[in-house]
Structure 1
Amino acid sequence: MSGLSPARLQLGEDATPEAIHQIESQWGLDRPFLAQYWSWFTGLLHGELGTSWVNGADISTLIGLGLGVSLSVAILALVLGVVLGSVLGTVAALRRTTWIDRAITGFVTVVSVMPGFVVGIVLVEIFAVALGWLPSAGYSPLAAGAGPWLAHVILPALALSFDIVADVARQLRTGLVSAYRENYVLGAMVRGLSPRRIFFRHVLRNGIGPALATLGIKFPQLIGASVVAEWIFGLQGFGRFANDSAQAGDVPAVQGVLVVSVAMVVTFNLIVNIVLGRIAPASQRGV
C-alpha cells in the first residue's frame, strides 16, 4: 500500500521490469495486501519479524543489536530521573513555602523546557571537550566492563533524564503537599507519631501516586527521544535504526520497530501499575 518496492531499493533505479518482478515475487509482494499482512502477522505470532528489504538481514537480529544500546541509555536515564526528581520533590515538599521550595520549583521549571539535544551538546562541550573526563561518542558493552560502559552512556542518559527529573519532582511535590493536608496525617500528628514515621508510613505512600503515573508517560518519550541522543553521541541504537529504516523505506523493519516499541511500552506501564497498586493504597480504591 505504501508503493515502495524492495526491488528498486536493492537493484536501483536502472533495474529492468523483469528483475523487479522477480524480486517482488520472491518477497510475496505480488499477492493481495491482506494475504501479505496475514503472512506477516502469523510470522509475528511465532516470534518472526521478517527480513529487511534493504539488506535481507533478519529484523529481529538487527533490532536486538540496537536495543541493548538504547535500553542501557533509557534505563539509566530513568534511574537518574527518578532518583534526582524524588530528592528534589521531597525536599521541596518538606520545605514548602520556603526559599528552598521556590528555588527547586524554579530550577525544575527551567530544566523542563530545555530540549534534550541542547542539553546533550552542552554536556559534550563541558565533560568531553573542555574537561576530557568522558568520551564524546561511541558505546562500550557492559560485558567489556562496567566502567567503560558507564563512561559511554552517562552523558546521553543524563541528557534524557532532565525532563524526567522535572516532572517527577513537580508531581511528587504536589502529591506530598496534598497528602500532608489529609485528616489522617493530622490525626497521626495529634497522636504523637514521629515526623519520620508519618512521612514514610502515611504521606509518601499516598502522595507518590502521581509521580509513579508520570513514569508510564515518560518511558515512551524516552524511546522517541533516543533518536536525537543517539545521533549526538554517535550511538547505533534502536532509535537510530528506526530512523534509518524509515528514511530508507524499509517497511518490514519499521513494522518490527513499532511492534517492539508497543510491547515495551505496554510492559513498562503494566509494571508501573502493579507497583502503584502495591505502594499507593488510594490507587486500589480508584482514587
Structure 2
Amino acid sequence: MTLTAAAGTRTPTRGARVSGAAARRAGRTAGAALAQAAVVLVAASFVTFALGAASGSDPAAVALGDMATPEDVARLNAEFGVDRPFFERYATWLGGAVVGDLGRSWFTGIPVAQSIIAALPVSLSIAAGATLVALVLGGVSGALAAVRRGTWIDRVISTGNAALATIPAFVAGIALILLFGFAFPILPVGGYVPPAVSVTAWLACLVLPAVSLSLDAAADLSRQLRTGLVAALDENFVVGARMHGFGGARIVWRHALPNAAAPALATLGLHVPRLVGGAVITEAVFGMPGLGQLARSSALQGDVPVVQGVLLVSVTIVVLTAVALNLVLARLNPSERSAA
C-alpha cells in the first residue's frame, strides 16, 4: 500500500515550478507597472486641472462675450461649477473623467469626450504610423549596419543617422510637402481621409506625416540597435553557434537580435512622448484635424475644459504605452526568457 501510494503520488517537475515562478514574476511586474501608471495618471490629472484653474479663463466671457449681464455671468458660472471650491471641482472632474465624462466645451457646449473621440483617430494614426516607420527603418538600417560593420554600408548608414537626428519634424514635413507637392505629386500633402471612407486614401494621407515625424526616432533606434547587435555578435554564444555551423541569418535573428532588441526598444519608448507631442506640430503642417489642432483652437478661444481633456488623454496614451513597453522589455529580458 505504501509503495502504491508513493508511486501514485506525483511531484511537480522542475519545469512546472519554474513556469509558475515566471508567471508570478510576470504578474508582479504587471501589477507594479499598473500601480505606477495609476499614480502618475492621478498626479497628471491634478496638475492638468490646476493649470486650467490657474489660467483665469472665464466660461461666461468665452460663451457669452463682453455683452453678458452680471446675472448671466453668475448663472453660467454656476452651471459650469466654477463658483465651487477648487478641490470639489477637481474631485467632480476626476470622477467624471474615470467614466469618460470630461465636461462640456465652454464655447460650443459639445461634450469634450465627443470632440476628442472625433480627433483622436487622426493623432493615433499619425503617431502609430510614425512608430511603425521608425521601427522598420531604424530596425533594418541598424541591423544592416551591424552585420556590415566597418564597410561603406555601415559608414553611409551612420552618416545618415547623424543627419536625420538633427532634422526637426516640421522642417522634414515642409520639405516633403515641397517634394511631393510639386516635384513628385503622387501623395497627398494635406488633409485627412478616415479609413471608413477609403483605407487606401487613409494610408496615403498618413505616409508623409508619419515619415516626417519618425526620422529622429528611426535614427536613434538604428544607432542603438547597431551598438547592441555588434556587441551581441561578439558574445561567446554567437561564436559557439558559428562553430556549430549555424547560418549567419539564423545567428542574427534567433540568437543575437533578441539580446540586442531590448535596449533598442527602450530607446524607441523614450520617443513615444515626442511622437505623441510631435503629432501636434505635424497636424498643423499637414492640415490634419487631430488632437493638436483641437487643443490649439481651444486654447486660442480660452476653452479650458477641452484643453484639459486633450492633455489628460495625451498623458494617458503616453503612460499606457510606457506600461506596455515595460512589460515587453521585461519579457525580452534574458533571465525572464530562460526562466520561462
Please say if 1:154 is aligned against 2:207.
Answer: yes
Please say if 1:96 is aligned against 2:135.
Answer: no
**How well do the aligned residues superpose, as a CA RMSD in angstroms?**
1.7
| 2:274 alignment counterpart | 221
| 1:234 alignment counterpart | 287
**SS across alignment from 1:50:** coil
Query: Rg bigger for which structure?
Result: 2
Distance 2:336 2:177 in 1: 41
Distance 1:14 1:178 in 2: 70
Please say if 1:168 is aligned against 2:221.
Answer: yes
Distance 1:42 1:228 in 2: 31
- C-alpha contact 1:74 1:223 (8 A) present in aligned 2: yes
Judge which range, 218-227 or 185-194, deviates more: 185-194
| 1:141 alignment counterpart | 194
- C-alpha contact 2:191 2:287 (8 A) present in aligned 1: yes
Distance 1:28 1:243 in 2: 24
1:62-73 map, 5 Å: 62-73=115-126
Residue 172 (structure 1) shift: 0.6
Residue 15 (structure 1) shift: 2.4
Unaligned runs of 5+ in 1: none
Distance 1:151 1:256 in 2: 29
| 1:23 alignment counterpart | 76
- C-alpha contact 1:208 1:280 (8 A) present in aligned 2: no
| 2:257 alignment counterpart | 204
* TM-score using structure 1 length: 0.94
| 2:171 alignment counterpart | 118
1:8-31 deviation per Cα after TM superposition (whole angstroms, max 9, x unaligned): 011112322222111101111111
- C-alpha contact 1:66 1:241 (8 A) present in aligned 2: yes
Residue type of the alignment partner of 1:199: V
| 1:132 alignment counterpart | 185
Residue 259 (structure 1) shift: 1.8
Distance 1:237 1:203 in 2: 40
| 2:91 alignment counterpart | 38
Please say if 1:109 is aligned against 2:162.
Answer: yes
How many residues were matched structurally?
285
* TM-score using structure 2 length: 0.80
- C-alpha contact 1:215 1:272 (8 A) present in aligned 2: no
Residue 109 (structure 1) shift: 0.6
- C-alpha contact 2:284 2:292 (8 A) present in aligned 1: no
Distance 2:337 2:106 in 1: 47
Residue type of the alignment partner of 2:322: N
Residue type of the alignment partner of 1:91: L
- C-alpha contact 1:276 1:283 (8 A) present in aligned 2: no
Please say if 1:87 is aligned against 2:143.
Answer: no
Residue 283 (structure 1) shift: 6.9
Unaligned runs of 5+ in 2: 1-52
- C-alpha contact 1:129 1:136 (8 A) present in aligned 2: no
Where does structure 1 differ by over 4 angstroms across 4 or more consecutive aligned residues? 282-285
- C-alpha contact 1:49 1:252 (8 A) present in aligned 2: yes
Residue 280 (structure 1) shift: 4.1
Distance 1:122 1:168 in 2: 23
**SS across alignment from 2:187:** coil
Distance 1:173 1:244 in 2: 42
Q: Give percent identity, aligned residues only.
A: 46
**SS across alignment from 2:94:** helix
Please say if 1:50 is aligned against 2:103.
Answer: yes
| 2:310 alignment counterpart | 257
Change over 3 Å in CA distance of 1:208–1:267 after alignment to 2: same
- C-alpha contact 2:162 2:219 (8 A) present in aligned 1: yes
1:228-274 deviation per Cα after TM superposition (whole angstroms, max 9, x unaligned): 11111111101211222233322211221122112211221222222
| 2:237 alignment counterpart | 184
Residue 192 (structure 1) shift: 3.1
